[in-house]
Amino acid sequence: MKKRIASFLAAAALLVGLPLAAAADSPAAGPTVHIKNFMFVPMTVTVAPGTTVTFVNDDDEPHTVTSTVKAFDSEGLDTHQTFKQSFAKAGTYLYFCEVHPYMHGTVIVKAPQ
Amino acid sequence: MKRATFLEHVGWTGGGIAFAMTASGTFAAAAPGSDFTFVQISDSHIGFSLPANPDVLGTLNATVDRINALPQQPAFVMHTGDVTHLSKVEQFDSAKSVLGRLKAPLFVIPGEHDAIGTEGAQRFAAAFPNPDAPDGWWSFDRNGVHFVSLVNVFNFETMGVLGTKQLDWLAKDLAAQKADTPIVVFGHVPLYALYPAWGWTTSDGANAIAMLKRFSAVTVLNGHIHQIITQREGNISFATAAATAYPQPAPGTAPAPGPLTVPAPELLGRLGYRNVSFTGMHAAVSDRSLQLG
């Protein structure tokens, strides 16, 4: 119930255009990248700083979401398992699947223009 | 490249389909009364539970039973990797409890599923310690045959990779062998470009193959692709093994590799083990399914 009230307040705050302190503290929910047929779909997502990207494994095969510079690592994601990663700072984050290293994806983090 | 699925070989009873890899480059029927034998198993994926095989522990158990029942016990059993599905401690433990029932000595090399995450490779090493293989790879001799066990799943980049350190070691190891010594090479991922679009290749495998060319009889055995495919290049015979867990599609016949769900009565016919017998320097490779016998 608390959650519903909070989201109502958040919606109300957005409607009247008020800055909401709580929203700045917790990362904004961002796009979902599906892992399907040994591909990250979409292969590239662009998000604002502070966004959380969700990765979900739709394959019958395990995959990982592993930063090429080890900035983050989902470890093994079984079928239907999800992994959330927030991106605080602007930059280009390359990642791959450790089990199938020819699978690549990119998260571009930049402030909205 | 020759696909040799169990299903195509309907006469899989008795001794199974056997072909001999000889120095003369011909496939011949396996000679009875061999000097010694060993067994290869692969891709058990303990922890997997999807419809392609909801009981991977059961099929591994059945495989162990078949091997223990062989009239001529193998000198050793080599598991060519992907013992587990997700490199989890409990998956290694379950696998060990089943593989521990083998009467013959067991060797295990890692697949990429045994090296997932920051601790995967360490967990594998803890589950299957091998003091002869500080870096993962090693060689040994049995009955005049030189066995080389390679690791091509660490430091994955774009495909399977052996790496400079391992290739240097291999060059030294092979330099000490005579050209007429039978060589058997184990790995997880195919050493040659079996189907690169699905990662079924080792990026620097050609370097290893070049070193093997001077030998008169080389057999390269791997797993990873969950189906029997044979290939011959000069005196080198390549043979990928069936899994004990589940089959995968033939190269290029699906949008992607991965578990292939076949009708339940067909599953055991797509899983199995490989018996390799040596008569003199000739290796006879016999793939046997879990369906019969």
| CATH value at residue B75 | 3.60.21.10
- Residue of chain A whose alpha carbon sits nearest to that of B161: A101
Q: Where are the beta strands (DSSP E) in B143-247?
A: 145-149, 183-186, 218-222, 229-233, 236-240
Instruction: Report pLDDT digits (tens) over A8-27.
Output: 444 444 444 444 434 444 67
pLDDT score recorded for residue A12: 42
Q: State whether B86 and A62 contact (CB < 8 Å).
A: yes
Q: Where are the domains of chain A?
A: 27-109
Q: State whether B258 and A60 contact (CB < 8 Å).
A: yes
DSSP B200: B
Instruction: Report pLDDT digits (tens) over A33-92.
Output: 999 999 999 999 999 999 999 999 999 999 999 999 989 999 999 999 999 999 999 999
Structural domain that includes position B103: 2-10+53-279
**pLDDT truncated to tens, each residue of chain B (293 aa)?**
677 644 333 223 223 344 433 333 333 344 445 688 999 999 999 999 999 999 999 999 999 999 999 999 999 999 999 999 999 999 999 999 999 999 999 999 999 999 998 899 999 999 999 999 999 999 999 999 999 999 998 765 556 899 999 999 999 999 999 999 999 999 999 999 999 999 899 999 999 999 999 999 999 999 999 999 999 999 999 999 999 999 999 999 999 999 999 999 999 999 999 999 988 778 899 999 998 64
The answer to whether residue B287 is domain-embedded is no
Greater pLDDT, A112 or B19:
A112
Q: Supply B45's token pair.
A: 């994926």
Q: How far is B157 from chain A (nearest CA, A)?
A: 6
Q: Return d(Cα B132, Cα A27) in angstroms, integer.
A: 49
Residue type at position A94: L
Q: State whether B158 and A101 contact (CB < 8 Å).
A: yes
| Centroid of chain to Cα B26 | 22
Q: State whether A75 and B117 contact (CB < 8 Å).
A: yes
Q: What is the DSSP string of B70-122?
A: -SS--S-EEE-S--BSS--HHHHHHHHHHHTT-SS-EEE---GGGS-TTTHHH
The answer to whether residue B225 is domain-embedded is yes
**Is CATH 3.60.20.10 what the domain over A27-109 is classified as, yes or no?**
no
pTM for the model stands at: 0.85
Helix (H) or strand (E) holding A85: strand A82-87
| Centroid of chain to Cα B45 | 14
Q: How many CA atoms lie within 13 A of B134 on its CB side?
A: 2
The answer to whether residue B48 is domain-embedded is no
Q: How far is B150 from chain A (nearest CA, A)?
A: 18
Greater pLDDT, B23 or A108:
A108
The answer to whether residue B40 is domain-embedded is no
Number of domains in chain B: 1
The answer to whether residue B197 is domain-embedded is yes
Q: How far is A43 from chain B (nearest CA, A)?
A: 16
